[in-house]
Amino acid sequence: MKTVSVKPADVKKHWTIVDASGKTLGRLATEVARVLRGKHKADFAPHIDGGDYVVVVNAGKVKMSGVKMTDKFYYNHTGYVGGIKAIAARDLLATKPERVVETAIKGMLPKSKLGRKICGNLHVYAGAEHPHKAQNPVAMPTR
């Protein structure tokens, strides 16, 4: 028997669409990260970008459990001394809901060149409209 390893040229990428309205952020992020990584395919290889393109719509309607809306903070640093900025999840969800979903999904991908490349296959939109209709995205099956 031979072990067949998939090559980057052999990977077939599909377009998948996910409606985030009413879904819990963490549960949504794990499913999307799984499809982005390609773990749902039989020919998964950890060193290859074998996942699909994913379009997430209605990111502004995602939910968080517990008191995360008020107690969870997103941090960034300006690069200057004492330049750390914090914003509550509720405020970030009101202003830039795409960033909340992208951050959750990105945290579940590998921290490497491959992980950054896979992040390029993710497209998140706050509303129901998206410019990827020509790719005929298929709704992601829920587990």
Identify whether 75 is part of a domain. no
pLDDT, one tens digit per residue, over 92-103 is: 999 999 999 999
State which residues form the domain around 112.
Answer: 14-64+94-139
The answer on pLDDT for 139 being more than 80 is yes
Residue 2 lies in a domain: no
The answer as to whether 111 is a domain residue is yes
- Number of independent structural domains in the chain: 1
Q: Report pTM.
A: 0.92
- Return the CATH number at 32: 3.90.1180.10
| 83, 43 contact by CB (below 8 A) | no
Can you tell me the distance from the alpha carbon of 3 to that of 130, in angstroms, rounded to the nearest whole number?
40
For residue 26, being part of any structural domain is answered with yes
The pLDDT-based confidence of 4 (bands split at 50, 70, 90) is confident
Q: Which residue spans within the chain are E strands per DSSP?
A: 15-19, 53-57, 73-77, 84-88, 122-124, 138-139
Is 103 contained in some domain? yes
